[in-house]
Amino acid sequence: MNELIKKIHSVAKSLGRVKLMEVCGGHTNTVMKYGLKEILPENVKLVSGPGCPVCVTSQKDIDAVVEMALNGIKIATYGDMLRVPGTKKSLADARSEGADIQVVYSVDEIKEKDRVFFGIGFETTTPMTARLLEKGFTVFSAHKTMPNAMKSLAQKMKIDGFIDPGHVSTITGSKMWEEINLGVPQVIAGFTPEAVTRAILLLLEMIKRGEKRVKNDYREVVLPNGNIVAKRLINKTMKPIDAEWRGMGIIPNSGLTPRKEELDARIKYADLIKNIKSIENPACKCNEVIRGLIEPKECPLFGRKCTPENPQGACMVSETEGACAIAFKYGGKK
């Protein structure tokens, strides 16, 4: 590790200001847990991107599912989604008012066909939702795909290099990243502190050489073509759509929705959710945290009004992927 840090400092000497981004909640966790930002030279900044699926789920989608639940539609979803604040209520609030909301760890726990699964996540969790669709269950899909979101970030935020999401890459494969060409160096990395530190070094070396290619440094898990079975299942049951991301707006072809309209809760319950007016909490800076514009601790509510026990925004909910919750866990209150 010491050798890697020394090399990072040595390569960085010949570079100007460099902004790198990790876009996987797992990497954010490693970076904050091991204080990796602190070991970097002054001219190298590592920012966290939109790698937390709970965080990037739009307020509108949360409000829509709360509305469905309050109108008697049975819902199933993952535990973290329960506590994300909506405009007026969270799913936890709806449940305390009597809404039927089942918290699941696996989609296999959903047995009733009239229960709607609120599916979130990137390429990694989408195969589970695809499996549910194959069995004929109805889904409210807030699933997102990474490539176009990263393209948008590379252009708008002037990112000099990406640590590509490791888990997502196990499904997509490394070839996909080569094909979409983000125009900046990328390293597919594992999740140990050494793996993330090595990814930073590899990115700096590529920047120094002027290379804009993809390096797969997680070969033990990420294959060139990814998980072909999972990709086939997703393609069979879901199709790409333009999706709304918290903090990033609508990004073309960055979401997935059920191919069969009769299994798409957005269509099935369109009348219930069409007039929802969503407003994000103006005091919450999640929008900026998600794009790496500010660090969680720069939000005035961090650790004061906003804590994991009482989240005021989506980024304080998931202790494994939400940048604010992770910063709170490893960095204290302020």
Q: Which residues bind ligand SF4 (CB under 6 A)?
A: 284-286, 289, 296, 299, 301-302, 306, 312-313, 315-316, 324
Of 251 and 290, the one with the shorter C-beta distance to ligand SF4 is 290
CA distance linking residue 241 with residue 142, whole number of Å? 10
SS (H, E, C) the chain: CHHHHHHHHHHHCCCCCEEEEECCHHHHHHHHHCCHHHHCCCCEEEEECCCCHHHHECHHHHHHHHHHHHCCCEEEEEHHHHHCCCCCCCHHHHHHCCCCEEEECCHHHCCCCCEEEEEEECCCCHHHHHHHHHCCCCEEEEEECHHHHHHHHHHHCCCCEEEECHHHHHHHCHHHHHHHCCCCCEEECCCCHHHHHHHHHHHHHHHHHCCCCEEECCCCCCCCCCCHHHHHHHHHHEEEEEEEECCCEEEEEEEEEECCHHHEHHHHCHHHHCCCCCCCCCCCCHHHHHCCCCCHHHCCCECCCEECCECCCHHHCCCCCCHHHHHHHHHCCC
CA distance linking residue 172 with residue 223, whole number of Å? 9
* Residue 313 beta carbon to ligand SF4: minimum distance, rounded to whole angstroms: 3
* Residue 330 beta carbon to ligand SF4: minimum distance, rounded to whole angstroms: 14
Of 22 and 160, the one with the shorter C-beta distance to ligand SF4 is 22
* Residue 328 beta carbon to ligand SF4: minimum distance, rounded to whole angstroms: 8
Of 258 and 303, the one with the shorter C-beta distance to ligand SF4 is 303
Of 234 and 306, the one with the shorter C-beta distance to ligand SF4 is 306
Of 125 and 312, the one with the shorter C-beta distance to ligand SF4 is 312
Of 228 and 283, the one with the shorter C-beta distance to ligand SF4 is 283
* Residue 334 beta carbon to ligand SF4: minimum distance, rounded to whole angstroms: 11
- Strand pairing class (139-143; 115-121): parallel
Of 238 and 299, the one with the shorter C-beta distance to ligand SF4 is 299
Sequence-distant (6+) residues with CB within 8 A of 225 are 173, 175
* Residue 23 beta carbon to ligand SF4: minimum distance, rounded to whole angstroms: 18
* Residue 305 beta carbon to ligand SF4: minimum distance, rounded to whole angstroms: 7
Which residue, judged by CB position, is nearest to ligand SF4 in the bound state? 313
CA distance linking residue 212 with residue 292, whole number of Å? 21
Of 269 and 328, the one with the shorter C-beta distance to ligand SF4 is 328
* Residue 173 beta carbon to ligand SF4: minimum distance, rounded to whole angstroms: 33
* Residue 289 beta carbon to ligand SF4: minimum distance, rounded to whole angstroms: 5
